Every structure is written in structure tokens, then in C-alpha cells.
Amino acid sequence: MLVAAQRSAQSKLWTALPGIIQSFSEQAMTCVVQPAIQAFVTTDNGAQVLTTLPLLLDCPVQFPAGGGCTLTFPVDAGDECLVVFSSRCIDSWWQSGGIQAQAELRMHDLSDGFALLGFRSQPRVIGNISLQAVQLRSDDGAAFVEVNPSTHAINATTTGPMALTAPLVTINGNVQVNGRVDTTGDVKAGTISLQTHKTSQVTSGTGTSGVPIP
């Protein structure tokens, strides 16, 4: 009898569940999640029926952040996640932030879930995980930025275009370009302009001029 009562109490206590994203609100930074584990529900005649749990609404999505910086990423329908459930009602905190009273006196409830993305079932695992470097990468591995802690090398690779947009880009060190360089502006070597420099020792005929004049 005691064991049955304990199991009944435990069945109402939610801690964490894998789930599948149904939709995402970028304005509210919340998502709707379908729990991916079914639960047994007791019918009126006492039978145990395996049932799909209801959708979890307004689950705050975690984006790693701190100190005024945030790592964001797309959240798509079908993405897998882990939903962890707060031990107390989060409604007042979610709406107003800061320290708040509980809007309702519920505990470990399906209404109080947070979505953590990145957990994957076996059919959705990604391949070619680097064992040498930390990577920010696309799932297909075609585009990535990596830092190697052993060599301290930083590598950026992509099959698509790469763009840097800034008022000034400064590179401290030698630069090697294996390919063509196109520029819409001038290029200077020291004080010598590629577009407007003049050359010394110019004579008519088939000879070669001297060095550029600063």
C-alpha cells in the first residue's frame, strides 16, 4: 500500500523529459514542445493506457549568455531538446523577472518547463565530431570555426562565401593569400599608392622604368 502511494506521488512529479520542438517565438524566446516520452494514464475503469502527453507551451529556450554576450542559433520545428521542469511555478518570474511570488502553488508541473537544445536521439546524431578542437559548426560539417587547444590554431572553413564588415580591420602579422585579390579601393605599400604612384628613370622605348616614387 505504501509502495503504491509512493509510486502514485512520483508519477505526478516531473523532472525532465526529452521533447520535440513544434514552434519557436523569437520575440518571446519561447517554444512549444511535444514531450517525446509517453505516460501511462489510468482510465475510469482502472485500466492503464499509454498516452501522448500534451504540448508544453511557452517553454523558455536557453541560449548560452553572460556579461552582455549571447550565443544564438536557429530553433526549428523538429529539433530535439530536453525540457527540465522547475520545482515551483515560474509564471511571475517569466513575465516580470527579478524575485517574484509564486503565481500558483504548483510543484514539478508540466507547465513550468525550460527547453535545452542540443540533446539528440540516435537517428539524429551528427557525424565527424572533432576530437581535437572546439567547433562552432553547421550540422553537415561544411562550415565551421574551430579552436585547437593543443596548437592554439584557429581555423575557419566554409563552402560558401565569408564576409567581414567593420569600419576598420587590423591584422597584426604576415598575410599569405593563395588566390586572387580584388579591391575597389587603393592599395598602399608603405607610402606608395598602387593607383597613383609614379615611376623613376622613365625613358621612351622598350626599356624598363625604375622603382616607384613615393
Percent of the chain with pLDDT over 90: 75
Q: Name the band, by pLDDT with cuts 50, 70 and 90, for residue 76.
A: very high
Q: Decide if pLDDT at 213 tops 90.
A: no
Give domain limits for the chain.
2-125, 129-176
| Cell 580584388 sits on residue | 182
pLDDT of residue 198: 77
Q: Name the band, by pLDDT with cuts 50, 70 and 90, for residue 193.
A: confident
pLDDT of residue 122: 97
User: Which residue has better confidence, 56 or 203?
Assistant: 56
Query: What secondary structure does DSSP assign to 160-175, as a single string?
Result: S------S-----S--
pLDDT, tens digit (0-9, with 9 covering 90-100), for 136-177: 999 999 999 999 999 999 999 999 999 999 999 999 999 999
Cα torsion 80, 86, 92, 93: sign: negative
- Lowest average pLDDT, out of 127-131, 135-139, 194-198, goes to 194-198
pLDDT, tens digit (0-9, with 9 covering 90-100), for 3-41: 555 565 566 789 999 999 999 999 999 999 999 999 988
The CA distance from 31 to 149, in Å, is 35
pLDDT, tens digit (0-9, with 9 covering 90-100), for 117-129: 999 999 999 999 9
| Cell 551528427 sits on residue | 126
When pLDDT is averaged across residues 73-102 and rounded to a whole number, the result is 96
pLDDT of residue 9: 57
3-state secondary structure of 38: coil
CATH code of 2-125, in short, is 2.40.50.230
* AA letter at 209: S
Percent of the chain with pLDDT over 70: 89
Burial class from Cβ neighbours inside 10 Å (0-12, 13-18, 19+) for residue 83 reads buried
Q: What is the mean pLDDT of the chain?
A: 91
Q: Decide if pLDDT at 112 tops 80.
A: yes
- Say how many residues make up the chain: 214
| Cell 622603382 sits on residue | 211
